[in-house]
A and B are shown apart, each in its own frame.
Chain A
């Protein structure tokens, strides 16, 4: 399935963008990735995703369709509230702490590293981060949300977003350092 970015919202190619339902459906892949960053496990992420959709659709006040840029931060915020209020206690217990992150093996050679391996390495590194760092990496570097949007979702000042993002990236850099140069070559 192919996606392309549309004013900050990932919309399925060829989709009819005439209704609120279309917009929220367009956020589906993006939301799922954010759910994974919060929950870790695919099954929990799917559960959180569905609950978020139910809450979002039942909400009395929804962003108007004309303001498509507002829809994704709005629904991300709902997801975070659902996760915080109802599931955090359950899911936090499954979280792998950064200090306990496994040391990445160096079995891959410079020439043998494929994109699949790059994805695998990056995912392992991201998954090993604490959830507060993981979610900010996903929102900023994968979902391309702005600092202001992230601050609104997290309910914190932009300065907190910046410092948290800096620490998360430092940690990722440590984990990916041996491979960053290689991965850049692979991408090129």
Chain B
């Protein structure tokens, strides 16, 4: 697209939106024929220029699905996806609504976990080259990587059923790991019979691998505390070293989605549902097709939790070996783990009435407020930790679920910085080695399989994470607790 066209598109975008307040813009149902509810974009004026017409249309497409409640929403990190946008949130009525794999994505339970340590920045910085090298050797990453870790078919079934709870029981973690995790480390009701042979075959060799693309493992330090009370509850202090792991369900999840999309693409005809995009294939929430997908999706989500658990375990081993202390002595405790590609059956208030709904979060994080029964006991007084990874080289944030998340966004917040530039373009216009050197000057060691990955994931291809987080903070959806600065990055 030429610049001129792009400018035109952007001006068209605001023309079609209704401004509700500084950070909320609605897409009226008159935008496109068939919208059942309006669209709602959580965007500041500053971020308005980051979205284009195609993205607005994708938000509108989701509004056309049957039984959608309130709004088809998009978080401030929104960008063009497939089916749903990335940063899309939609809740569906249990009776009238649907379940759609398009609202979850192929990388089921792609998510983030944050582990604390009692190390200080100065304990880690001088050793970053060795630490990142050791982590890079220990944790398989990159295209075509497979784990040294071999699981049996029975173990794979256990992982599909019990996620990180299985991993901890199998010796890859400590008891508190599942206590501090969304859904306590697994979604109940996964049914391995709904997972095909192909998904099993893809999932087995990839257990315990990071993957490639935007997935990473990062060593960081807390450089700023915004909310001392919440930070104390989360156990965060300025200068403290943390480790963030961002990855998902690998080939297992991708294949589960692929297989069920095939079925649901035929189901739309059977149930006479008009979908504006085949990627939005869906079925009535209570139908066998939808429930089979949902049960398989849970298996994919559980696989991802087990995967992140195992990767965290190996990270602990690397630190233990390097520092000559055990996990306990190093204070390597999981702070929290969130899924940002998932559908959940949750209770929300709709039109003043409590109702069970299917919330789809595609590139969006759950952000339950203080007092919510699903927030782990030790965090319940402050709210659920919301983990927002930055792009490579830029800050990540820890937020807490805010008081307005339930009324504004079905308990959801943003999930990251949000891309601005395509990967192909990034690779063409940026030099991975130069970026690596620039990051090194800023004190960030990057260890990647190859320089092209660094170019594709360069900080400047993303929106500014501060701008994104400021929107959810201002709206009271999720509020800033701490900012984390990277010092060592492992990229696949």
Check if A and B associate. no
